Amino acid sequence: MKKYFSLEDFEIDENINGSVVTIGMFDGVHLGHQKVIETCCHIANNHNQQSVLITFSNHPSDYFYPNNPNRALLSIEDKINQIEKTKLDILIILPFDKQMADLSAREFVKSILLDKLNCKSLVFGYDNHFGKNREGSPKFIDTEFKNSINSIIVNEKLIEDDVVSSSRVKFLLQEGNVKLANEYLGYRYTINSTIVHGNALGRTIGFPTANYDTTKINKVIPANGVYLTYSTLEISGRMISKIGLTNIGIRPTVSNSFSVSIETYLLDFDLDIYDCTIITEFIQRIRSEQKFESITDLKNQIQIDKAYALNYLTQIHITT
């Protein structure tokens, strides 16, 4: 897959009979998005064309509402990584700025889809629009550009009669239902962070934790609670993966703070990992966050959580 961060750098291959294009944020690259990309690739392959996805490096809502930043499902780097797993030929990542916000659907089609990409077919998701005031739609293409571009609509992806969408995945994560959210995504939801120093309480009670720098996490954070997770760390150039218990919340037993923290206790692991990057995949929510009467009660509950996690792992055939 070729990647472009500017249309000025892009040139269509003259040996290819045009392109099949889809446009959107593709936040999450969930199963619904994957269905759209697969359709785009399939049509392109059948007509000796290039499959092209146009997306944005920032969410349109961040431009229109800068004081209320959008919590994404994927960073731009992670989105690229997920799209690279498809058969897409070309990914174009553009900034959503004033020029893009003011670009009419007609001008978008003329200056980008036709002049730049030689677009022959435009693939729409079931609720997909583009251009100023969301004017660009299948009906718009069929009416205004019927002799130049075919419009293709991909029906929604359903899981048990429920539409797979980014908003639905976000809702599930905010409810703590990471297991179902993962089914909608088609992969495990992930949070990346640099490991920072905490209060070291976990180490003193026999459960040392990796503390996340939450100030730099601009993603949807699952609901407060304890989760079974799978973390990968890079230590001295070596990748190490471990099962863990991840706590999200305000730690009411040991703290009076109301700020949310994220920390992971890695099973059977005790190395110095400060300043390392941790990539944590969420598997299953074990329980909600609780306030315990004593540190002893907290330690006992962590042992119970650990035993539950190990038993669950044997059921889904994951080893520690």
Per-residue pLDDT of 153-197, as tens digits, reads 999 999 999 999 999 999 999 999 999 999 999 999 999 999 998
**Is 114 part of a structural domain of the chain?**
yes
Phi (first) and psi of residue 109, to 5 degrees:
-65, -50
* 3-state SS class at 319: coil
| The predicted structure's pLDDT at residue 150 | 97
- Tokens describing residue 167: 């908003």
Q: Are 80 and 214 part of one and the same domain?
A: no
| The predicted structure's pLDDT at residue 70 | 87
Domain count, the chain: 2
- Tokens describing residue 240: 């190490």
CATH code of the domain in which 221 resides: 2.40.30.30
Q: Which of 113, 159, 115 is closest to 136 using CA atoms?
A: 113
Q: Are 149 and 10 part of one and the same domain?
A: yes
* 3-state SS class at 91: strand
Q: Are 139 and 201 part of one and the same domain?
A: no
The Cα–Cα gap between 65 and 30 comes to: 25
| The predicted structure's pLDDT at residue 53 | 98
DSSP character at residue 9: G
The list of the chain residues with pLDDT below 50 reads none
**Is 54 part of a structural domain of the chain?**
yes
